[in-house]
Amino acid sequence: HVQLVESGGGSVQTGGSLALSCVAAKLTYSSNCMGWFRQAPGKEREGVAAILLRGDDTAYADAVKGRFQISEDSVNKSTVYLQMSSLKPEDTAMYYCAIESRGTGPPCSLQAPWVEAADWGRGTQVTVS
C-alpha cells in the first residue's frame, strides 16, 4: 500500500514562510499527479496546489496563487514540496499530501477525478498567528 509522509509543518507568524515536503513510498504505479490539500477545523477539505509529475503543469487555488509554489524533486519524482510564503491566519489548517492512484489522472487539476481516488498522507499541521 502506498505510503505518503508529510513534514515541515509548524507554527509561524503572519507573513512568515514554511516549506512542506511529501515523500511517497511503496509505489506500484507511476503516478501522474500529486498535490496538497488542507482542512481547517469545521471546514471542508480544499485543494491547495497540484502538479503533473514529470511535466510542467501546476494548479493552484485562488487563495494561494502568488504565495505558494508546488514543485517536484528533481531526482526523486515521487517527492513534492510546497513552499508557502506570506502566510495568513486563514492558511491555518492540517495539510495533506495526495498522490494519484492507478489510472485516474491526468488531468491533475484540484477538482479532477484523481482527487477522489487518491492515496493520502496523515497530514502536517500549519498554524499561522
Walk along the chain (129 residues) and give the pLDDT tens digit of each residue.
899 999 999 999 999 999 999 999 998 888 899 999 999 999 999 999 999 998 879 999 999 999 999 999 988 878 999 999 999 999 999 999 999 988 888 999 999 999 999 999 999 999 999
- What is the rounded CA–CA span in Å between residue 105 and residue 83? 24
CA angle 48–17–41, rounded 5-degree value: 50
Query: Nearest Cα to 15, choosing from 88, 82, 64, 65?
Result: 88
Query: DSSP class of residue 76?
Result: -
- What is the rounded CA–CA span in Å between residue 72 and residue 79? 6
* Residue 104, C-beta contacts closer than 8 angstroms, at least 6 positions apart: 113, 114, 117, 118
By 3-state DSSP, what share of the chain in percent is helix, strand and coil, each rounded to 5? 5, 45, 50
Query: pLDDT (tens digit, 9 = 90+) per residue, 90-112?
Result: 999 999 999 998 888 899 999 99
